[in-house]
Structure 1
Amino acid sequence: MQLRLKIAVVICALIGTHFIYSFFTYEDKAIVHMNTWSYVTQYEVSYIYPKDAPVPPKGKLGAFYSCMQKYAGLGSRKITTPITKLNERLKIKIGDDTEASLSVNGVEAFQFNFMILNKEKEIVTGTNNYAINCDIRLLNKPLSDMHCEDRLLGNSIRPVCTYRPQGRP
């Protein structure tokens, strides 16, 4: 009887450990799709509000891609600039099969998700929402124009990346 109890305890411990490990190391399977992109991956704006946002209508992901790779779970989301307008949005088509949706405040993208589309432009899968702190002016800009610094946002330290043209402090 005691042997069965010990075996049951070991099995429960293994299952519990696996569950806890999976919970804390979970990565959205669709987010791995970002690894197929690069600095030179092409994008095209499919929706922008407000219309006068400082984003080229098409180009390369540029330094913005490097900043996006610093994403974190949505619990880490903090906006670093004062609220400017409500419902600022930017949607960009990335490559042939992805549309990214960004929540924006002023020039700071603070949240994103994306959908992967098939050849018929139907949604195959999508990602969860993730936190970022990326200046949208980094789209179509070289890495040398990106300045990142770690800031305390809420209870965590997060990288905040801004646009600083080369040669400016």
Structure 2
Amino acid sequence: MRRMGILAAAALATGGLASAAQAQGSETIQVFTRADLERALTNLNATFEKQEEYRNIDITFEDSILADALLLACEDEETEKNCYGTSILATFENPEGATRETILKAINTYNYNENFGRAYLDDEDTISVRFYIISDGGITRENYETQISLWTSSLNNFFGYLYPEAATEGEAEAATDS
């Protein structure tokens, strides 16, 4: 009987925590909607605009990172009904004078050091970093935003891997400004 009382108390406490989390804005998303994505981007101070011909959204994050987002794995792709995936893609210019080997080294360094996103050269040799979030089983709004924010932070590191001269120059300028 005592065990049942402890289990009941634990269940109430867990339910209370879930209610408290929802009250604090940690509502669980089961499937992504355009409104969910736009809300997350707005909360991250990103600007965005829907493309006329495509379902993609063009995004500019606060630190001037340009990206493209798309809801995927939808029951109906055209209407974006019940989407289980969010894909965000950033592409980068080839560094001036860089060889394919140095670009691949930067990509490999990013993929080894960073936990958010996957860097690669696409079929047209465009340097790309893609991030994919799934809602399978549910994800809180807060977690959705946090993951996008962490991805954009990891892209700042990618700049340093891909454009080491610019990173060194920036460090030198910062040192002389002090």
TM-score normalised by structure 1 residue count: 0.29
TM-score normalized by the length of structure 2? 0.28
Name whichever structure is richer in helix by fraction: 2
